[in-house]
Amino acid sequence: MSKYVISTLTADNRYVGWNKSGGVNMIERSVVVRGGAGIPRASGAGDGATPSGVRTQVSDEDAEFLANHPHFQQHAKGGFVKIVNTAQDPEKAAQSMDKDASGPKTAKDVAADNKKNEKDDGTPPLQAVQNNSKKAAG
């Protein structure tokens, strides 16, 4: 059986368990939890990533390791990751979680910033950059 980690973090995170052997730290276990919430992706990728959250499947053993890992616990306490028992839609699951502030600004974020920082001197407001580029032929 497996579990799932829902993440609203912008980047992937590798949680590592260390074993000190002969004065040397050696990796005992390592689990990567995918990030990428808020990062544009190719449509139809089918990889469990949505604009708000990302789902990573993990084994029961990895879920137990993560639940006891101090950095994962910090991320969970901050509202950025959580372990769930079923393959939930990450978009819906992420709605109750905190957003990673390091992600790129959306058009909605820019509009809110413009409203908050509105000036009366006629300066045009900021505009969100749209990625309309297509691969160059050749």
pLDDT digit string (tens) for 65-124?
Answer: 999 999 999 999 999 999 999 888 777 887 778 777 777 776 777 777 777 777 666 666
pLDDT at 22: 87
CA distances from 14 to 31, 54, 80 (A): 6, 15, 14
Report the predicted TM-score, pTM, of the whole model to 2 decimal places: 0.69
Backbone angle region of 61, left / alpha / beta, with phi > 0 → left and psi within -120 to 50 → alpha:
alpha
pLDDT at residue number 39: 76
Q: Which residues contact 128 (CB under 8 A, 6 or more apart)?
A: 105, 106, 107, 109, 110
pLDDT for 137 beyond 60: no
Q: How confident is the model at residue 130 (pLDDT cuts 50, 70, 90)?
A: low
Kindly give, in sequence order, each residue whose CB lies less than 8 Å from that of residue 71, ignoring residues fewer than 6 positions away.
Answer: 13, 15
Tokens representing 70 are 């101090």
